[in-house]
Amino acid sequence: MIHTPKIRMIQFIVTVFAVMCLSLPALADDVTDSINEALDQYKKGEYAGAIGSLNYASQLIGQKKGEALETVLPKPLAGWNAEKTSSQAAGAAMFGGGITAERTYTKDDREVKVNIITDSPMLQGLMMMFNNPMFATSDGGKLEKINGQKAIVKYDESNRSGEIKIIIANRFLVGAEGNNVDLKDLKDYAAAIDFNKLASLP
């Protein structure tokens, strides 16, 4: 039996998805159904259909991971209101792919948005910045620590806006962006995230 590169790739993808399902036991049956469907299509030589079924399973897994990220987003601080959490799993065709969860918090005219990103190619470049202080501070950022984690902090006192970026376990990018806020507001929201819980997510 001759195995073309395309067939070998499908075999590899199916194996990867099987491992992912084992690591995420709470996934809905739709995921395993889609993977089994892909296996059947692969055995019949329906490679385009197999890839489509795997892409669908991938999207479902991404949605589950996004929902898990939502549980880590902090509750509103005292005196603040918060919108509902939201998440999105983008395929590789959209901005390189990745899974994002975010929540917006308001207090009078203040606004803070906290987001968490994982499985995104942009993390590699950001990790290089964190490991090179010259790059990290080249556009006005400062290296600080928040709850023991390295953070790049940018804040403009003139318009009371800024952002904080933190990388957790080399897998998650945490961001806190604010308008009409004090720097303390940004730091408080960044510090309200349970970094240990985030690092433990599959």
- The token duo for 163 is 């952002």
DSSP SS3 for 151:
strand
Q: How distant is the alpha carbon of residue 175 from its chain centre?
A: 10
pLDDT tens column, 124-150: 878 887 878 787 777 788 999 999 999
Q: What is the pLDDT of residue 117?
A: 94
Which residue would you say has higher pLDDT here, 139 or 73?
Answer: 73
Domains of the chain: 5-64 (no CATH), 71-200 (3.30.200.100)
Cα dihedral 167→168→170→172 (10° resolution): -80
Q: What is the pLDDT of residue 94?
A: 44
Whole-angstrom Cα distance, residue 104 to residue 165? 16
**Residue 26 pLDDT > 50:** no
Whole-angstrom Cα distance, residue 149 to residue 194? 11
Q: What is the pLDDT of residue 89?
A: 85
113: confidence class by pLDDT, cuts 50, 70, 90: very high
The mean pLDDT of the chain is 85
**Could you give phi then psi for residue 26, rounded to 5 degrees?**
-85, 5
Q: How distant is the alpha carbon of residue 89 from its chain centre?
A: 8
Rg (CA), the chain: 20
Q: What is the pLDDT of residue 36?
A: 87
Q: What is the pLDDT of residue 2?
A: 46
Q: What is the pLDDT of residue 162?
A: 97
**Residue 52 pLDDT > 70:** yes
